[in-house]
Amino acid sequence: MADRRDAPRSGPRPALRRVALVMVALVAVGCGGGAEQARVPTLTWYVFDEPSGAYDRAAQACTEQAAGRYRIEMAALPSSADQQREQLVRRLAARDPDIDLMGMDVIWTGEFAEAGWLLPWEGEAAAAATDGVPGPIVASATYEDRLWVAPYTTNTQLLWYRTDRVPEPPQTWEEMVRLAEGLGPDGTIQVQGGRYEGLTVWFNSLLASAGGSVITGEGDDAEVALGQPAVRALEVMRNVATSQAADPTLSNTMEDEARLAFETGGSSFMINYPFVYPSAEENAPEVFANMGWARWPAVVAGEPSRPPLGGINLGVGAFSRHPELAFEAATCIRSAPHQIIAAVDGGLAPTISSLFDTPEVQAAFPFADLLQESLQDAAPRPVSPAYNDISLAVQRTLHPPDSIQPEADLAELEDRVNQALESRGLL
């Protein structure tokens, strides 16, 4: 619209005046609608770009359920957990109020809580968020006796093996190496030995399966544990990596490389997450037809293994403009119907135990009972503000796995973990 100072003193002609009034009215109506929409609080959910769309559908459904009280807007994070953390840390360190909800890796809880970047779950909301959730998953969401995030989806590893080559799956790592070596060239074992988080996952579950832990205590009371159980875990890693059944590329192998290698048919054993099952069905039907599953191998014969624990928890940003609505939205997102959708469409296991018995989850995971059993005994990684440095200490000390010297590396690892705890710094 033209500035009034540009109009002739006599004013516009009557017809033009009527047109101008209509235009002003239309603009006013449009602005009113926009203002009305703007009054609906927008909650921004930062989470990795889940490819099936299950997370998006949960956000849309919860927005509709809110009936105009709030709307959830997705903000996609990278697929790499390290890059996800980096982006969130930068924003939270700057006290970004636009971070209302976060899809958080289970290993971030202690760091984000200690830094003051999360609001704790309390009272009825905390009770509802942990109702029917296995203890190890709750432990991944807890720091210094407070619940900081709500469990949403979870994950663990299984032992995948060729049923046409191995009648019965091995119960221990030692037995698996022996069976694999007896199969010759086709007996290769696929496991994550690259210098990345997967190496820490492998070591941590071996250590827990041997009866140990990386640290004890939390916060200022945290101390290095490790000890002789760590020696047993390191012996297993070295024995696998130096066996005739080790893949020549083990020191560079991550989850996807292990999957691809198993799908070629040249491997008989693989430690990996359940995403490999539908992948083999689509990409390698002959391998899929002979693909069995079993519990993560034990370190000590007769003692149950402690499989890895992964997953996504939901955190509420400490600087959110709408914290009460954010807790409400997070409760909706992690509700049973949306966990089932994430399981069926995204292959992401639920955190509510009873959902493993539903027909939908049983159909999505033929191994659902084993998953549930494994999660009950899973080994969370250390919940510590220094976790990132602890993980790097493990990776730098134990890579490559075929060069591990158990006693000497234990001493070095204890020193590096102790340095990580004392620094209390963020890398």
CA nearest to 299, candidates 379, 372, 371: 379
Dist. CA 381–CA 326, nearest whole Å: 27
Residues 124-143 have pLDDT tens digits of 999 999 999 999 999 999 99
- The model's confidence at residue 24, banded by pLDDT at 50, 70 and 90, is very low
Structure tokens at 377: 């005994």
Please report the pLDDT score of residue 364 as a whole number.
93
E strand or H helix at 328: helix 323-333
DSSP code of 352? S
Contact 51, 314 (CB under 8 A): no
Contact 101, 314 (CB under 8 A): yes
Dist. CA 54–CA 52, nearest whole Å: 6
Mean pLDDT check: name the lowest of 16-25, 119-128, 141-150, 172-181.
16-25
The residue count for the chain:
427
Q: Before 400, cis peptide (omega within 30)?
A: yes
38, pLDDT greater than 90:
no
Torsion of the alpha carbons at 337, 338, 343 and 347, rounded to the nearest 10 = 170
Please report the pLDDT score of residue 9 as a whole number.
33
CATH class of residue range 42-155+309-376: alpha beta
Dist. CA 315–CA 129, nearest whole Å: 12
Residues 42-99 have pLDDT tens digits of 999 999 999 999 999 999 999 999 999 999 999 999 988 889 999 999 999 999 999 9
264, pLDDT greater than 70:
yes
Instruction: Return the percentage of the chain with pLDDT > 90, whole number.
Output: 87
- Residues with Cβ within 8 Å of 356's Cβ and at least 6 positions away in sequence, in order, are 349, 350, 362, 365, 368, 369, 371, 372
Dist. CA 230–CA 195, nearest whole Å: 18
Dist. CA 312–CA 351, nearest whole Å: 10
Residue type, 335: S
Which residues is 317 bridged to in the sheet? 118
Rounded to two decimals, the pTM is 0.87
Query: For all residues of the chain together, what is the average pLDDT?
Result: 90
Please report the pLDDT score of residue 10 as a whole number.
35
Structure tokens at 335: 């509700």
Evaluate the CA torsion angle 312, 350, 382, 220 in order and state its sign. positive
Contact 166, 268 (CB under 8 A): yes
Mean pLDDT check: name the lowest of 26-30, 106-110, 364-368, 415-419.
26-30
Please report the pLDDT score of residue 179 as a whole number.
97
CA atoms within 13 A on the CB side of 395: 16
Mean pLDDT check: name the lowest of 62-71, 216-225, 299-308, 378-387.
216-225
Residue type, 385: P
Residue type, 12: P
C-alpha distance from residue 30 to each of 1, 17, 105 (Å): 15, 20, 42
372, pLDDT greater than 70:
yes
Of residues 363 and 25, more confidently modeled: 363
Residues 9-20 have pLDDT tens digits of 333 333 333 333
For the segment 167-189, the average pLDDT, to the nearest whole number, is: 96
166, pLDDT greater than 80:
yes
Residue type, 241: A
What CATH number was assigned to the domain covering residues 158-308+386-423?
Answer: 3.40.190.10
Please report the pLDDT score of residue 266 as a whole number.
95
For the segment 369-375, the average pLDDT, to the nearest whole number, is: 97
Please report the pLDDT score of residue 425 as a whole number.
44
- The model's confidence at residue 4, banded by pLDDT at 50, 70 and 90, is very low
What residue ranges of the chain are covered by domains with CATH 3.40.190.10?
42-155+309-376, 158-308+386-423
- The model's confidence at residue 105, banded by pLDDT at 50, 70 and 90, is very high
376, pLDDT greater than 80:
yes
Contact 313, 152 (CB under 8 A): yes
106, pLDDT greater than 50:
yes
The strand pair at 267-272 and 188-190 is best described as parallel
